[in-house]
Chain A
Amino acid sequence: LAKTTQPISMDSYEGQEVNITCSHNNIATNDYITWYQQFPSQGPRFIIQGYKTKVTNEVASLFIPADRKSSTLSLPRVSLSDTAVYYCLVGDRRNKAAGNKLTFGGGTRVLVKP
């Protein structure tokens, strides 16, 4: 399985940029990298997905180096409402039986302080 490793927690302040790096050494050729955000008492919410290089949307940017063994989620100018758990996921298509499940790790708890 394409396992991911990310920091357990990060603290930041309002207005700063937050960068969360995720390692996925066993990523398969056809796998995409997806990030989810989860607020307390809510289900995870899709933020961004990418395959290589850089992807940007209205919420975040995702940087993926050429070897694709890691990725970095960048949240520009965070606010208090960005306090959440952020999960990095990699789809696993090498194992057909596992291909229909997303494997969440423990995620990164980001705390944005005033």
Chain B
Amino acid sequence: GAGVSQSPRYKVAKRGQDVALRCDPISGHVSLFWYQQALGQGPEFLTYFQNEAQLDKSGLPSDRFFAERPEGSVSTLKIQRTQQEDSAVYLCASSLDRSPPGARGNTIYFGEGSWLTVV
């Protein structure tokens, strides 16, 4: 497709269950980002990939969160032993080149998000 695609769109997990969220970035986009958005708040940065290299994972809230992009295209965000506080929308975004998102002309494109509810 033309945009960033995420699946599943909605996921309900029981506390303690592992979940995997998938992101298909726009074809050819070098940079890929994951953000977490709690209800009523702005998105918060989780991690950043440049091709297959995870260059920044400073936003991952705990070692239960793990992200990968093994072939530099599709990415998976995995959350182990989910807790109720993990309930949020997980947004994936991609951009064409390596320059920082705030740089001139480097627009990042977001997917619609994966809505995770942990019960």
Contacts and interface: CB of A to CB of B under 8 A. Distances in A.
Interface residues of A, number: 29
Interface stretch (A64-72, A76-84, A91-99): A91-99
A49 B4 CA distance: 20
B104 A87 contact: no
Contacts of B48: 100-101
Interface of A: 30-32, 34, 41-46, 49, 51, 85, 87, 89-93, 97, 99-107
Judged by DSSP, the binding face of A is: loop
Interface residues of B, number: 29
B58 interface: yes
A43 B105 contact: no
Contacts of B100: 91-93, 99-100
B42 A46 contact: no
